[in-house]
Structure 1
């Protein structure tokens, strides 16, 4: 495992051989961030047996109940309602079991109110442009012209209705997104985009390297290898 983790770090082009991290050494992502990764990844794959300990670890790390619920709600936009709902039932069971042992988890804040004049199309378009690293909203791409309705759903629902909820910030949401996409198949194009988007929310190269290491240590070696390869492409394109 030690050699594997060092190899993954090298694949990203972030650290030199002399700086390779020791096995399990995650220094740039805190325990809350690491838990967002595993919770989102196992929700997306529908692996409830692995999700349950990840939920416990996340709550132990200080994620509030509402923050965990928000991760699971967001996941339906990527993995569908069935897996999101199954994960929500797993969280309910986990909370009941923890309460039975005397653990009273912090509920945390609710989402703030949405303005009455909230323009979902404009907000969603702006969020997507920001995630893309653009100052201006670009003209429609070919796929948007081919299916305007899916573009509308993306803007008005995912990037507006969901992203406007302030229980999680946009950086946390992108961390959850790349974790989900990394543990799904057939999503390389979306994962490549969101790796860049995650960095556009402020995640550093070191944090992205740690993201890959968490995948390798907690999710799966193949997922980590595939993500490391895409991340290397993203970093090269960004001149990093």
Structure 2
């Protein structure tokens, strides 16, 4: 990964959660430098940083997708906190939860509720 691409990915991650870049980079680099290149480089430097959607909208879409998937509770909680950090309101998160109940099912919504409660609690504690 070029230093510029790594820096771009970590800077975008920092805008979502100021404490995340060092923690995530340390976790990924501990196994292989390739993970930061492939995972963060693709996700944040190549896709999320594109100008077609603002970061607030991208986070709402990410939260929706992770809720619908129902298989990534840690990432869901992180991205709900990130969404709050970039201006998505609690009320909007609740509306996303209700929308997911309709299109992805009540179990996906229930998983989202659990993640949202943790994220809201963490946001209040900060």
Return the TM-score normalized by structure 1.
Answer: 0.46
Higher relative contact order (CA 8 A, sep 6+): 1
Equivalent of 1:161, from 10, 22, 46? 46
Structure 1: runs of 5 or more not aligned: 1-118
- Higher radius of gyration, 1 or 2: 1
Distance in 1 (CA, whole Å) between partners of 2:117 and 2:101 is 16
Equivalent of 2:33, from 148, 157, 176? 148
Matched residue count: 122
Distance 1:223 1:135, change over 3 A: closer
Structure 2: runs of 5 or more not aligned: none
4+ residue runs over 3 A deviation: none
User: What residue in structure 2 maps to residue 110 of structure 1?
Assistant: none
Q: Does 1:123 align with 2:2?
A: no
Contact 2:100–2:108 (CA<8 Å) still a contact in 1?
A: yes
Distance in 2 (CA, whole Å) between partners of 1:136 and 1:218 is 31
Q: Does 1:216 align with 2:93?
A: no
Distance 1:223 1:122, change over 3 A: same
Return the TM-score normalized by structure 2.
Answer: 0.84
Contact 2:13–2:20 (CA<8 Å) still a contact in 1?
A: no
User: What residue in structure 2 maps to residue 194 of structure 1?
Assistant: 79
